Amino acid sequence: MASPFLLGIDTGGTYTDAVLFREGEGVVAKAKSLTTRHDLAVGIAGAVDAALGRSGISASKIGLVSISTTLATNALVEGQGGRAALIMIGFTPDDLARGGLAEALGTDPVVFLPGGHDVHGNETPLDMTALEEAMASLSVVVSSFAVAGYFAVRNPAHEIRTRDRIRELTHLPVTCSHELSSKLGGPRRALTTLLNARLVSIIDRLVGACEDFLVQKGITAPLMVVRGDGALISAAEARLRPIETILSGPAASLVGARYLTGLAQAVVSDIGGTTTDVAVLDDGRPKLAEEGAVVGGHRTMVEAVALRTYGLGGDSEIHIDDRGLEAKFTLGPRRVLPLSLIAMAHDELVVSALERQLRASHAGRHDGRFAVRTGVPEAMAQGLQPPEQALYARIGVTPIPLNELLTMNSQRAILDRLVARGLVHLSGITPSDALHVLTRQNQWRQEAAQLGLALAARRKDGAGREIATSAEALAEKIVNRLTRQSAEAVLSACLAEDGAEAIDPAVSLAVDRALKRTAGIARFSIMLDRPLVGLGASAPVYYPAVADMLGAEPVIPVDADVANAIGAVVGRVRSTVTVVVTSPEEGRFILSGAGERLVVIGEAAGLAEARKRAVDAAMAQAKADGADDAVVAVFEELDAPEIEGSRKLVEARVTATATGRPRMAAG
């Protein structure tokens, strides 16, 4: 019987990609559609319908749907996400200073409760009085809760009781730290849990939009989501643990890069609208981050591919420093809507505003900049302060020039907060607009890009000269800057892999001379020891020059523009569960993880029960994650030193990993 068709979907910050794939045949059809953040189903439908139309395949022939996404990654890089309350059990305010937790928390509320456990799972009594008192006010200003208990990985009882009480009182989503990681390190586990809680609404909207579309098309195939380590999980599990989808898009692109190029050794760089993700392939496998994924400056406890994510893409905000004798350009990390893109939906309004600004005798402070609502549900605007609410009310679903919107300096900070909440988009010139001016891209409105860059070009530098002689000249400067920052990003990631993080390519004079190939008695050069694989829709435009700057062989696969969607359907389900065995006293062994704390008499019995627990839990989780016919492997680490001539088990970690292909509907 012929194998079913697989549908891969990648929802990025700018584009949603769809690929129809069949084992043995490869890519059957592919298509792109603009990501519609106000209703993700529209962008998904546009891409999938186009791919189905090009293939001539009936939707009923699809046996599996798998999605990868950069939405969670982008949200953390850009500081977006829902407002979450953090409940800390057994911790003190001093613990916020550890693991970057205070920085991640920002202005979100935190409640401290007496309670928690020790390393062996023995409890300090839980007191939820402070939670009960705060709940009435919290439930109206947050969209979710994060619960972290002291040594909860050794005994999750207090987290579970707190979670159940919050759900009873508020019916809002609650994430517990023991559900996300079995590792010790309370503050970092709390940080991971907080970020997960913020992402719940974002991933819930994506999965819901995809499910709604599949129902409309009559597609009954299982729906999977790519995790940050490249493995697949069921959509239902992704909704519960959205933090695991950070780096989903980059992980899928690595799997796709390996499939498309066949290269076992490569540096892979994926440029999107918002971010550039760089990782290394060694022996055909992406490296995993041993200490947890770092995204948006936060080190999480999420197992994910070891890559560096930079706020640099085709839609990056362009910052022009015109105070010196020569203007300097930097890109990112925030994404803005390209003028050429926003003019697709609001052509006359945007173009006429830009023309009016260009005719003015004096330059406006915010020329070429607009604000528009993102179109997310009104519930996402909960908890706005009065000044934020007042400014938000003035911004509509059609773009408003910032020169008209901002009447006081203080309003700029308020606008930035609305953008960070994901309620408002800013629009301005971007590298994508520069490519439209240079006619290297043509999918959006070139006229708006031309006007926007012409406005920016007439700004004066410190010497009183215009920063560029024309829109085209400015476009070349912007493209050159993106090439240089891309090279620095790739080099920075490679140096980190080599253990040379101390070298910062952005400030190193030696690196600058090497990248510019500066002539001199002492000449510096840089060379990568493996090919540079460029992925993303704009990779063919940028990456030959980036590879040349780095002395690397460029490899741009034919389907580089949809590598993420390909990676989404060629992956496997993988579930890992760890059970920890400790011995607080002779002959008595405590099992933590994969269920309630358990006391067992005798080492052999304790280890045997730990193996059974780990295997059963890994197989059950793999099944919940969507695996078909999973196989399991067990790995054990024993810390059992000789103390005064006798062996003493301090700790044992029994890890079971279940792996299998996702189950499929009959094609």
Count other Cβ atoms within 10 Å, centred on residue 462: 12
Q: Cα separation of 178 and 163, whole Å?
A: 12
What is the average pLDDT score of the chain?
Answer: 87
The mean per-residue pLDDT over the stretch 373-394 comes to 85
Q: What is the DSSP code string of 405-470?
A: H--STHHHHHHHHHHHTTSEEEEE--HHHHHHHTTS--SS-HHHHHHHHHHHHT-B-TTS-BS-SS
Local structure of 651: helix, strand or coil: strand
* More confident position, 158 or 175: 158
Cα 391 to the center of its chain, rounded Å = 29
* More confident position, 37 or 648: 648
The mean per-residue pLDDT over the stretch 45-68 comes to 90
Q: What is the DSSP code string of 109-165?
A: -EEEES--B-TT-PBPPP--HHHHHHHHHHTTT-SEEEEEETTTTT--HHHHHHHHH
Q: What pLDDT, on a 0 to 100 scale, did the predictor assign at position 546? A: 96
Local structure of 604: helix, strand or coil: helix
Q: Taking 70 as the threshold, does the pLDDT of residue 365 lie above it?
A: yes
How far from each other are the two terminal CA atoms of the chain, in whole angstroms?
A: 9
Q: Taking 90 as the threshold, does the pLDDT of residue 368 lie above it?
A: yes
Q: What pLDDT, on a 0 to 100 scale, did the predictor assign at position 65? A: 92
Longest dimension (CA), the chain: 90
Q: Taking 80 as the threshold, does the pLDDT of residue 468 lie above it?
A: yes
- The band of 316, judged by pLDDT with boundaries at 50, 70 and 90, is very high
Q: What pLDDT, on a 0 to 100 scale, did the predictor assign at position 220? A: 87
The mean per-residue pLDDT over the stretch 2-10 comes to 85
pTM passes above 0.85: no
Q: What pLDDT, on a 0 to 100 scale, did the predictor assign at position 227? A: 86
* More confident position, 436 or 13: 436
Q: What pLDDT, on a 0 to 100 scale, did the predictor assign at position 457? A: 93
Domains in the chain, CATH or no CATH each: 5-77+203-309+564-570 (3.30.420.40), 84-199 (3.40.50), 573-662 (no CATH)
Question: Is 188:91 a contact under the CB 8 Å cutoff?
Answer: no
Q: Taking 70 as the threshold, does the pLDDT of residue 78 lie above it?
A: no
* Residue with the two structure tokens 């700004």: 459
Q: HSE on the CB side for 27, CA within 13 Å?
A: 25
Burial of 335 (0-12, 13-18, 19+ CB in 10 A): buried
- The band of 2, judged by pLDDT with boundaries at 50, 70 and 90, is low
Question: Is 20:7 a contact under the CB 8 Å cutoff?
Answer: yes
**Considering Cα of 432, then 437, then 441, then 445, what sign does the dihedral take?**
positive
Cα dist. 483→412, 494, 527, 549 in Å? 30, 17, 16, 9
- For 379, residues 6+ apart whose C-beta sits below 8 A from its C-beta are 143
- Tell me 287's DSSP state: P
**144-149, strands of its sheet edge to edge:** 110-113, 84-89, 144-149, 174-176
Q: Cα separation of 239 and 144, whole Å?
A: 13
Q: Is the link from the previous residue into 333 a cis peptide, with omega within 30 of 0?
A: yes
* Residue with the two structure tokens 């105070």: 323
Q: Taking 90 as the threshold, does the pLDDT of residue 586 lie above it?
A: no
* Residue with the two structure tokens 């890009």: 449
Share of the chain above pLDDT 70, in %: 98
Question: Is 316:331 a contact under the CB 8 Å cutoff?
Answer: yes
Q: What pLDDT, on a 0 to 100 scale, did the predictor assign at position 643? A: 73
Q: What is the pLDDT of residues 196-233, one digit of tens each?
A: 888 877 788 888 888 888 888 888 888 999 888 888 98
Q: Taking 90 as the threshold, does the pLDDT of residue 140 lie above it?
A: no
- For 237, residues 6+ apart whose C-beta sits below 8 A from its C-beta are 225, 624, 625, 626
Q: What is the pLDDT of residues 234-278, one digit of tens each?
A: 888 888 888 788 778 878 888 899 989 999 999 999 998 888 989
Of 16-30, 160-174, 476-490, 575-589, which one has max mean pLDDT? 476-490
Cα dist. 43→13, 39, 48, 344, 447 in Å? 11, 8, 9, 15, 24
Question: Is 654:581 a contact under the CB 8 Å cutoff?
Answer: yes
Structural tokens at position 55: 């293939």
The mean per-residue pLDDT over the stretch 374-383 comes to 78
Q: What pLDDT, on a 0 to 100 scale, did the predictor assign at position 295? A: 67
Q: Cα separation of 262 and 242, whole Å?
A: 30
Q: Cα separation of 174 and 197, whole Å?
A: 7
Q: What pLDDT, on a 0 to 100 scale, did the predictor assign at position 667? A: 52
Q: Taking 80 as the threshold, does the pLDDT of residue 412 lie above it?
A: yes
Please name which of 156, 144, 148, 147 lies closest in space to residue 185, comparing C-alpha atoms.
148
Q: Cα separation of 89 and 381, whole Å?
A: 29
Q: Helix (H) and strand (E) counts for the chain? A: 20, 31
Q: Taking 70 as the threshold, does the pLDDT of residue 535 lie above it?
A: yes
Q: What pLDDT, on a 0 to 100 scale, did the predictor assign at position 661? A: 86
* More confident position, 238 or 304: 238
Q: What is the pLDDT of residues 592-621, one digit of tens each?
A: 887 778 888 888 898 999 999 999 999 998
Please name which of 89, 107, 91, 111 lies closest in space to residue 99, comparing C-alpha atoms.
91
Share of the chain above pLDDT 90, in %: 39
- The band of 540, judged by pLDDT with boundaries at 50, 70 and 90, is very high
The mean per-residue pLDDT over the stretch 75-98 comes to 82
Amino acid at residue number 395: I
Q: What pLDDT, on a 0 to 100 scale, did the predictor assign at position 666? A: 63
